[in-house]
Amino acid sequence: MKSLNSPSLSPKCKKTLCNRKGSLNELKLCCLLVERGYEVFRNINPDGPIDIIAVCKKTMTTHYIDSKAPSFYRSKLNNTVNILTKEQQQKGIKAMILYEENIYYVDKDNYNLKKFLGEEI
């Protein structure tokens, strides 16, 4: 597969490859959540404010998640971010990022990235 930076790729092709990578990352995030004891449900609408609903089997706590691309995260490691819309924040949706087999989330203030260890989001 060609690099996304390849000059021979059309803008439409680049977008398709990015969407495919995003979908694969979202599926990997779902798998890791299942491995950590969550029931996981995916949104079939790609434009919705929520990508994943994860329910903790032990506590039945429900998390509404917007999956974010790791390419966004790489540049923000140990820095602050602001990646959820006001509407998503008001509805209690959490941003989660899968990066190098670890899950990160944005804190309740939509500002600091933290490593996800379990039920803390």
Model confidence pLDDT, tens digit, residues 74-112:
555 555 456 788 888 889 898 888 888 888 887 766 667
Q: Report which listed range, 9-18, 58-67, 91-100, is most confident.
A: 58-67
- CATH number of residue 88's parent domain: 3.40.1350
Would you say residue 59 lies in a domain? yes
Give mean pLDDT, residues 37-57: 91
Between 9 and 66, the more confident residue is 66
Mean pLDDT for all residues in the chain: 76
Model confidence at 71: pLDDT above 50: yes
Would you say residue 120 lies in a domain? no
Identify the residue whose tokens are 């959820």: 84
The pLDDT value recorded for residue 19 is 63
Helices (H), the chain: 11-35, 70-74, 86-90
Structure tokens at 13: 């092709």
The pLDDT value recorded for residue 80 is 47
* Amino acid occupying residue 25: N
Would you say residue 121 lies in a domain? no
The percent of residues in the chain predicted with pLDDT above 90, rounded, is 26
Distance in angstroms (rounded) separating the CA atoms of residues 92 and 105: 13
Cross-sheet strand order for the sheet of 38-42: 38-42, 52-56, 62-68, 93-99, 102-106, 113-115
Q: What are phi and psi of 89, to 5 degrees?
A: -60, -45
Would you say residue 61 lies in a domain? yes
Overall domain count for the chain: 1
Would you say residue 6 lies in a domain? no
Model confidence at 32: pLDDT above 80: yes
| Domain coverage including residue 71 | 11-115
pTM for this structure? Answer: 0.72
Would you say residue 93 lies in a domain? yes
**Parallel, antiparallel, or unpaired: how do β-strands 93-99 and 62-68 relate?**
parallel
